[in-house]
Amino acid sequence: MANNVDIGGDGSLFIGEDKTFQLELLDPTNTFPVNMASMTIVFDARASDFSSSAFFTITAAIVGVFNPVRSLNTQRAQAVVTATQMNALKSAPWRYSWKITSFPETVAAWGNWYPQKATAA
The model's confidence at residue 102, banded by pLDDT at 50, 70 and 90, is confident
Exposed, middle or buried: residue 12 (CB in 10 Å: 0-12, 13-18, 19+)? Answer: exposed
Residue of 85 and 61 predicted with greater confidence? 61
The model's confidence at residue 1, banded by pLDDT at 50, 70 and 90, is low
Whether pTM exceeds 0.85: yes
Classify strands 106-114 and 94-100 as parallel, antiparallel or unpaired: antiparallel
Give the whole-angstrom CA distance, residue 106 versus residue 100: 5
Give the whole-angstrom CA distance, residue 86 versus residue 53: 17
Phi, psi of 87 (to 5 degrees): -65, -25
* Per-residue confidence (pLDDT) for residue 51, from 0 to 100: 84
Q: Give CA 47 to chain center in angstroms.
A: 15
- Domains, the chain, with CATH or none: 3-114 (2.60.40)
